[in-house]
């Protein structure tokens, strides 16, 4: 494992999951957070996601004899399903569980956090100004060796490269939600990324039990979101136009395609704030009476009520029941 010391900037939904995945696979992880109140929000997430990861690993034992078990097991938790046994899962529960407990620390002082970082994974809110401000603050603190990657879903690395002080060591490494099960890692450089650095990030992705998916050029939305965002937007348009309610839209999708989840269930997992941030960036969202404006208003109403998705216990669906 060449990149051993990992710093995750941002302890939200994805940042927490990424940090835990790195810790589980034996890396030393430091979450850099901006304030005491961030610690108060991230600590319960660390506990919750650790418990979910280990619960899914334990549950994988029941899949060993299941003929479709190899399609259902948590792929981030078990690197290879071939030859899997209960004993091997017990071993992973022990070593992985210990790693999750022992390999994580939280640091508010950025200089201390990044002092020996091999790789910094930026997973802050999808706010370009906030990302730029943090890159500018970080650039003089990072050791020469440090690779910097962004998990941004909607913005290209070339937009930020000049603010990092190390454009050749900067690229995108994009994860999907519930990464311990959905273990995709899209690797996307900008024209100034050094190929050797890109290759190191591909190897790192594999070291943390992800499947590296290599993009040969910049693509807004990468591979996954080039498909997922239009899909989720189409569902939200149907909702905003009052064509059908979210349950019916989800049911239609699931029945007709045998997909396990509908678009509003996916939105609950992604988090409504992320969906809102994506829509509010579109210029039409500022035009009163436009469909984009209506979607933003509807999402904002739910966010203001605290109905931000699975993490909050309620989104389009109620998870407290
Ligand atoms: N949610 C998803 O499904 C998903 C999937 C793939 C990638 N992403 C990307 O991951 C990133 C984070 O998304 P998320 O869903 O985890 O968001 P989130 O809202 O859950 O968390 C954002 C985190 O950023 C921190 N933050 C915000 N502004 C900051 C600042 N100025 N300084 C320091 N920290 C700051 C917040 O405190 C919070 O911990 C985004 O770039 C998003 O596009 C999200």
Domain of residue 268, CATH code = 1.10.1040.10
**Contact in structure between 78 and 92 (CB atoms under 8 Å):** yes
pTM: 0.84
User: Structurally, how many domains does the chain consist of?
Assistant: 2
Round to whole Å and give the CA distance between 294 and 300: 10
Output the CA angle 15-182-118, nearest 5 degrees: 40
Quick one: average pLDDT of 44-60? 98
Residue ending a domain, choose from 193, 214, 235 = 214
Give the model's pLDDT for residue 310: 87
Q: Are 240 and 201 found together in one domain?
A: no
Q: Is residue 321 part of a domain?
A: no
Cα(259) to ligand 1 centroid in Å equals: 27
pLDDT tens readout for residues 185-232: 999 999 999 999 999 999 999 999 999 999 999 999 899 989 999 999
Domain holding 301, by residue range, is 226-312
Q: Are 167 and 253 found together in one domain?
A: no
pLDDT tens readout for residues 248-286: 999 999 999 999 999 999 999 889 998 999 899 999 999
Q: Are 194 and 244 found together in one domain?
A: no
- Calculate what percentage of the chain has a pLDDT beyond 90: 91
Round to whole Å and give the CA distance between 105 and 19: 10
pLDDT tens readout for residues 58-84: 999 999 998 888 888 999 999 999 999
Q: Is residue 221 part of a domain?
A: no
Q: Which residues line ligand 1 (CB under 6 A)?
A: 10-15, 34, 38, 123-126, 130, 134, 151-153, 174-175, 177, 270-271, 273-274
User: Distance of CA 9 to CAs 38, 120, 217, 249, 275, Å?
Assistant: 11, 7, 25, 36, 21
Atom number of ligand 1 nearest to Cα 153: 43
Map tokens 């994506």 to a residue: 278
Q: Are 235 and 171 found together in one domain?
A: no
Which of the four pLDDT bands, split at 50, 70 and 90, describes residue 150?
very high
Q: Are 238 and 259 found together in one domain?
A: yes
pLDDT tens readout for residues 72-129: 899 999 999 999 999 999 999 999 999 999 999 999 999 999 999 999 999 999 999 9
Q: Are 257 and 167 found together in one domain?
A: no
Q: Are 20 and 169 found together in one domain?
A: yes
**Contact in structure between 166 and 135 (CB atoms under 8 Å):** no
């Amino acid at each position: 494992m060449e990149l051993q010391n990992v710093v995750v900037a941002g302890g939200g939904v994805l940042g927490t999951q990424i940090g835990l995945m790195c810790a589980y696979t034996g890396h030393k992880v430091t979450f850099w957070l901006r304030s005491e109140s961030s610690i108060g929000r991230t600590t319960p997430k660390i506990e919750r996601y650790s418990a979910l990861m280990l619960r899914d690993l334990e549950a994988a034992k029941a899949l060993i004899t299941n003929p479709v078990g190899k399609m259902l097991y948590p792929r981030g938790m078990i690197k290879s399903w071939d030859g899997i046994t209960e004993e091997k899962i017990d071993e992973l529960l022990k070593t992985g569980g210990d790693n999750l407990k022992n390999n994580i620390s939280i640091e508010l002082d950025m200089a201390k956090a990044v002092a020996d970082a091999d790789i910094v994974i930026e997973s802050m809110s999808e706010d370009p100004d906030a990302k730029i401000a943090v890159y500018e603050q970080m650039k003089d603190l990072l050791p020469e060796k440090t690779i910097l990657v962004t998990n941004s879903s909607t913005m290209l690395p070339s937009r930020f490269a000049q603010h990092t002080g190390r454009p050749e060591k900067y690229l995108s490494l994009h994860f999907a939600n519930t990464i311990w099960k959905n273990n995709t890692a899209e690797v996307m450089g900008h024209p100034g990324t050094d190929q050797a650095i890109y290759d190191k990030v591909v190897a790192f992705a594999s070291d943390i039990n992800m499947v590296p998916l290599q993009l040969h050029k910049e693509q807004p939305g990468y591979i996954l979101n080039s498909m997922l965002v239009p899909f989720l937007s189409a569902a939200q348009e149907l909702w905003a136009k009052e064509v059908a309610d979210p349950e019916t839209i989800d049911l239609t999708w699931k029945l007709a395609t045998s997909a396990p989840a509908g678009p509003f269930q996916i939105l609950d997992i992604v988090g409504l704030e992320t969906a809102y941030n994506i829509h509010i960036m579109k210029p039409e969202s500022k035009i009163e009476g436009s469909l984009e404006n209506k979607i933003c208003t509807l999402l904002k109403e739910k966010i203001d009520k605290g109905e931000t998705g699975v993490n909050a216990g309620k989104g389009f669906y109620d998870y407290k029941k």
